[in-house]
Amino acid sequence: MVGGDKVVVNKDGLSYNDDLHPLTFQKTQNSLTGALDGDAPINWSVSFYPAGSTDFTINGEKQAPSSKNLIVFWRSGMSTTMVFEKE
């Protein structure tokens, strides 16, 4: 659940309120990011940052290294970014 919506990410893609959209994953220096393939009413991306990642940005702002694994969801509707950390 993200912001009251049902969001599931797995090997098949991103499911938003039970509507499945394929994701294309790209690995960068410090993350793995999946973005939607094709058209969708709301565009999504999900990024995975391992603990200790350095030199990464969220919403254009440089972030300090985190001691925890992070998952960052972005969606185009109202340009929302949500950051979750593993306890």
Q: Phi and psi (nearest 5°) for 77?
A: -60, 110
* Of the candidates 18, 17, 16, the residue with the CA atom closest to the CA atom of residue 34: 16
Q: Indicate left, alpha or beta for 78 from its phi (over 0: left) and psi (-120 to 50: alpha).
A: left
| pLDDT attached to residue 2 | 59
pLDDT in tens, 18-37: 788 888 889 987 788 888 87
Please state the pTM of the whole predicted model.
0.77
pLDDT in tens, 53-76: 877 777 778 888 788 899 888 888
Report yes or no: 48 and 10 within 8 Å, Cβ to Cβ. Answer: no
Report yes or no: 56 and 63 within 8 Å, Cβ to Cβ. Answer: yes
